[in-house]
Amino acid sequence: MKEPVYEVFARKSREEPLRHIGWVNASDGDLARVYAWKTYDEQNWAEMCVIPRAAILPVDPDESQFVTAAKSESEDEIVHSRGTGSYGGADVAVKEGR
Amino acid sequence: MTETLPAAAYESADALPEDVRQPLRDLILALADSKRVLGLRYSDRMLGSPTLEAGIAASSMAQDEWGHARLTYALLGDLGDDPKALEHERGAAEYRSISALDADLRGWSGMIAAALLVDMALTAQYAALVDSRYAPVRNRVQKLLDEEKFHFQYAAGWARQISQGPELRGELAAELARVLPQALRWLGRDDAPGMERLVQEGIVRDQPSARRARFLARVGPVLEEIGAAEQLGVTRDGAEWTYTGALDWSGWDDATRRAGGSLDEETAARARGDKNRALLMD
């Protein structure tokens, strides 16, 4: 099962611009929001947003850290590595290639 | 828009009418014990979760639950209990945690059924205290409810994800069917001793039946979306959700919110912190 990537943006106060702080894998927006909030909790964020990576359109794709939907197949292999095997065994049968 | 709460009428338990003190104490202890055990059950799922993110979130939720338990036990100090003794000195049979948590959660489906139904039943009960006229309770509940929004999203998201594949759909349905009646029953009976007085005094917002309806209104749409509502006996009429099954009240104790059975000793020992008892500080 391949999960989409959601990029995480946050700011500590309303005056600050949102900045990119990381990413999470999640099957939907609900889980992406929870994972982002629970994973990147080192700061007392005033605002946090998650954005599907596929929704980001880099103006210059060659210079972008974000991977567009057009490149997603090759990127999937890199970013969709799963923790299941290395986190004490799987309770859930996770199927590749949903 | 910020809702203005009515002035709290009871700043401390000393000011409470005598006949509401015991039912309030019973309610708070049942909440605290359930939160403590739910935190333990979540913590068992921190490792071996399907994804790294799911494990991190389960770990954080376990911490949340233990925090909620701690602040809920602390409330009992005002009602004449020794919170430390309640947390560290009781045997398994004295725990008033919800029966659905008496045994380990069954796999990841059990984790998600507990997060959706047990956690949200407890949340429905806390929500009935958020505008309580008993100030110590009212002052502590809002932050807890804010954190529970994430627990709900987590539970809903995973229920959807599991239901999209054939492997675990049946297992999740079975766990939901096992837990739902216990979660609904835990919310209590309208005619429980002292319940009406708690509502009359504005300490608890409304009757258990109203709480059940609110709980169903929250989880019902998720159950419907994953195709489990009908089988579980959860139906909707407009915005109103109903459970069509019959709740079994035989042997029900309104004070402990249990009908027999008990938490196991091993879990109680973990809840008490027996392993590091020698290091327990005053």
Please state the domain extents for chain B.
Answer: 17-277
> Are B50 and A31 a contacting pair at CB < 8 A?
no
Topology at the third CATH level for domain A5-82: Ubiquitin-like (UB roll) (3.10.20)
Chain B hits for A37, Cβ within 8 Å:
150
Match 């004449």 to its residue by tokens. B80
With beta carbons under 8 A apart, name residues in chain B contacting A89.
48
pLDDT above 60: residue B72: yes
Q: Please write the tens of the pLDDT for every residue from B92-118.
A: 999 999 999 999 999 999 999 999 999
pLDDT at B237 over 60: yes
Domain extent listing, chain A: 5-82
- A91 → closest Cβ in B53, B61, B108: B108
- Residue B104 token pair: 């380990």
Shortest distance between the Cα of B3 and any Cα of chain A, in A, equals 21
Token pair 């997060």 is found at B115
The secondary element (H helix, E strand) that includes residue A11 is: strand A5-11
State the smallest CA–CA distance between residue B104 and chain A in angstroms.
14
Please check whether residue B263 is in contact with residue B95, taking contact to mean a CB–CB distance below 8 angstroms. Answer: yes
Q: Which amino acid is at A53?
A: R
Q: Is the ipTM of this complex over 0.90?
A: no
Phi, psi of A58 (to 5 degrees): -65, 135
* B205 token code pair: 């917002």
Residue pair B257/B98 in contact (Cβ under 8 Å)? The answer is yes
Q: Is the pLDDT of residue B230 over 60?
A: yes
Contact criterion met (CB < 8 Å) for A87 and B52:
yes
Tally C-beta pairs within 8 A across A and B.
85
H/E stretch holding A75 reads helix A72-79
- What confidence tens digit (pLDDT) does each residue in A6-30 have? 999 999 999 999 999 999 999 999 9
Q: Which of B51, B56, B157 sits opposite A84 (nearest CB)?
A: B51
What is the distance in angstroms between the Cα of A25 and the nearest Cα belonging to chain B? 7
CA distance A67 to chain B (A): 20
B157 and A34: CB-CB below 8 Å?
Answer: yes
Of B52, B162, B168, the CB nearest to A83: B52
Confidence of residue B260 (pLDDT cuts 50, 70, 90): very high
E strand or H helix that includes residue A29: helix A29-39
Three-state secondary-structure class, residue A1: coil
Q: Is B55 on the interface with A (CB under 8 A)?
A: yes
Contact residues, B window 253-282, toward A, CB-based 8 Å cutoff = none
Longest Cα separation, chain A: 45
Looking at CATH, the fold of the domain delimited by B17-277 is given as Ferritin (1.20.1260)
Reported as a single tens digit per residue, the pLDDT across A41-96 is 889 999 999 999 989 888 887 877 776 544 444 444 334 333 332 332 333 333 33
pLDDT for residue A96? 38
User: CA-nearest residue of chain B to A98?
Assistant: B165
Average pLDDT, integer, range B218-240: 96
Q: Are B34 and B123 in contact (CB under 8 A)?
A: no
With CB atoms and an 8 Å threshold, state whether B54 touches A35.
yes
Residues from chain B that touch A88, judged by Cβ atoms under 8 A, are: 47-48
The CA angle B57-B43-B73, to the nearest 5 degrees, is 105
**B115 close to A (CB below 8 A):** no
Q: Which of A51, A32, A83, A79 has its CA nearest to residue B157?
A: A32
How far away is chain A from the Cα of B140, in angstroms, using its nearest Cα? 19
- Our CA-based measurement puts residue B161 at a distance from the nearest CA of chain A, in whole angstroms, of 7
Contact B154/A at CB under 8 A = yes
